[in-house]
Amino acid sequence: MTAMTVEVSPELAQRLQPLYDRLPNILELGLREWQATNQHGFEGAAEVLELLAVY
């Protein structure tokens, strides 16, 4: 694993603090969502994948 430093606003830092252990998962999901929105024909794919991942 590689360490990374990211600067965020104090407000966002406060919201993320309780989720510290889950930040890698949150970032992965956010990146998937962001990439899916940039690909035509895959709108909503991230939501479907996330739903399937839960089951």
Quick check: is 1 in a domain?
no
Q: Is residue 4 part of a domain?
A: no
3-state secondary structure of 30: helix
Structural domains in the chain (count): 1
pLDDT at 37: 73
pLDDT tens profile 26-43:
998 888 888 877 666 666
Average per-residue pLDDT for the chain:
84
Specify the residue for token string 């994948």. 49
Q: What is the pLDDT of residue 51?
A: 76
3 within some domain: no
Rounded distance between C-alpha atoms, residue 15 and residue 22, angstroms: 12
**Residue 50 in domain:** yes
pLDDT at 41: 65
Structure tokens given for 41: 């024909």
Higher pLDDT residue, 53 or 16? 16
pTM: 0.59
Is the pLDDT assigned to residue 45 strictly greater than 90?
Answer: no
Residue span of the structural domain in which 46 resides: 10-54
